[in-house]
Chain A
Amino acid sequence: MGKKGIETMVGVFVLLGLVGLVFLALKAANLGTFNAGSTYSLVARFDNIGGLKRQAPVRTAGVTVGRVVKIELDKKSYQGLVHMEVDSRVEFPKDSSARILTAGLLGDQYIGVEPGADDKNLAAGDVITQTQSAVVLESLISQFLFNKAADAGAGEAGGAKK
């Protein structure tokens, strides 16, 4: 195979590689969705962030509009501080609330933002004050048991009175 032939074959090889890369990036991963475009940052405080991780999505009505970029502890109030980057095209009213939700039953956790009714919108760097912490399974179970115990106690007392 002559010089031209070899160069052509290598060109085909490299082209195949690029096609594969594009396939992997677009069809098989999330490049198409979010990363392009400008963002602004918001902060939210939580009593308990549960299993929230960096890169977790921020969703409104189920649509991803941002990402969690940093999670740290506020040393004065002992609350979890979650820094988010939100798509600039989406704006939230000042009294919007943020909750930590779970995708599916045992899935990854994400932040769900519910828009409020205020006229003014959150600006870059603002803090979302209305938050609801993650559901911690142990608290849920102990509460359930407590309720059960309370019902049983009330039932006994009621039964005893009769």
Chain B
Amino acid sequence: MTALVASLGRVVLDVMYALGHHAYFFADLLRNLPAAMRRPFLVVAQVHAIGNRSLVIILASGMAVGFVLALQMYYALAKYGAAESLGLVVNLSLVRELGPVVTALLFAGRAGTSLTAEIGLMKAGEQIAAMEMMAINPKSRVLAPRFLGGIVSMPILAILFSAVGILGAYVVAVLLIGVDAGNFWSIMQSGVDVQRDVGNGIIKSMVFGVICTFVALYQGYETEATPEGVAHATTRTVVIASLAVLCMDFILTALMFTTH
């Protein structure tokens, strides 16, 4: 009995320690951001590595999601004679929810794991230790530019996902199914508010960008410097980042889109 309580206590303490460690790491990252911003090329190179390299999967997925949404929503809406609102429904689904969230999940999988693996391997190869011995702070030289790169890339990727999704839905709805093009756009335009829908969607994607990049960097930096360690760290990045994104999505949606 006491053993059970003891192990429960240990779990709680471990969680507290982990939270504190995460918070400290985050604060340290923020502290090193100004130094990274003074080296714009480092950040630009990271935006390239993180953002540009994710373009293909984001655009392809966006289009696919747009196609599927249009198809599925059409059948549901047609039952109530509201097929003309297809554009509006697809737009809102994408811009408010699917754009930021699906992009974040794909980002965690593609860019997050590559960040974690890269930093974990740098640590394993003693490159981080070498930098420290050369009196160069690895957090400002290696981590902070990647953090900024992720924060900049994510909203752009989410916007592109939604935009391509809407275009994909247009192709299916208007060209394939035969919904009227004029109504498709006009009903959409009258129902979507830039500040409330597009703006909140962008805020969401920025928050998700911070979460995914931070988790990836933390797991990479704090990993055990062995092949198994790096493998576990990349798995943890995807799992933790995805769960965190989904939780934050619920909280943000409740804050932004429910009327008070």
Bits for B168-198, please: 1 = Cβ < 8 Å to A, else 0. 0000000000000000010011111111111
Listed residue (A9, A13, A28) with the most chain B CB atoms within 10 angstroms of its CB: A28
B interface secondary structure, majority: helix
A-B contact pairs, 10 of them (CB 8 A): A6-B45, A17-B156, A17-B157, A23-B163, A25-B198, A29-B91, A29-B193, A29-B194, A30-B192, A53-B259
Bits for A18-41, please: 1 = Cβ < 8 Å to B, else 0. 001101110111111101000000
Distance A139 CA – B162 CA, assembled complex (angstroms): 43
Establish whether residues A10 and B192, one from each chain, have CB atoms under 8 Å apart when the complex forms: no
Task: Answer whether A28 and B95 are a contact pair too, CB < 8 Å, given A3-B41, A13-B52.
Answer: yes
Query: How near does chain A come to B222, taking the closest CB pair, in angstroms?
Result: 29
Partner of B155 from A17, A30, A33 at Cβ < 8 Å: A17
Chain A residue contacts of B190, Cβ below 8 A: 30
Establish whether residues B159 and A20, one from each chain, have CB atoms under 8 Å apart when the complex forms: yes
Interface residue ranges, A against B (CB under 8 Å)? 3, 6-7, 9-10, 13-14, 16-17, 20-21, 23-25, 27-33, 35, 53-55
Task: Answer whether A24 and B156 are a contact pair too, CB < 8 Å, given A6-B48, A29-B189, A53-B259.
Answer: no
Closest to A24 in B: B198
Partner of B48 from A9, A16, A25, A54 at Cβ < 8 Å: A9
Interface residue ranges, B against A (CB under 8 Å)? 41, 44-45, 47-48, 51-52, 55, 91, 95, 153, 155-157, 159-160, 162-164, 166, 185, 188-198, 202, 259
Across the A-B interface, the 5 shortest Cβ-Cβ residue pairs: A17-B156, A20-B163, A29-B192, A20-B159, A31-B194
Chain A residue contacts of B45, Cβ below 8 A: 6
Establish whether residues B160 and A30, one from each chain, have CB atoms under 8 Å apart when the complex forms: no
Establish whether residues A7 and B163, one from each chain, have CB atoms under 8 Å apart when the complex forms: no
Chain B residue contacts of A16, Cβ below 8 A: 55, 156, 160
Chain B residue contacts of A6, Cβ below 8 A: 44-45, 48
Establish whether residues B155 and A27, one from each chain, have CB atoms under 8 Å apart when the complex forms: no
Given contacts A30-B192, A30-B194, list 19 more A-B pairs with CB under 8 A: A6-B44, A6-B48, A10-B47, A10-B48, A13-B52, A13-B153, A16-B156, A20-B162, A21-B159, A21-B198, A24-B163, A27-B185, A27-B189, A28-B91, A28-B166, A33-B189, A35-B194, A53-B259, A55-B193
Task: Answer whether A25 and B259 are a contact pair too, CB < 8 Å, given A6-B44, A10-B48.
Answer: no
Partner of B51 from A10, A20, A24, A30 at Cβ < 8 Å: A10
Chain B residue contacts of A14, Cβ below 8 A: 47, 156
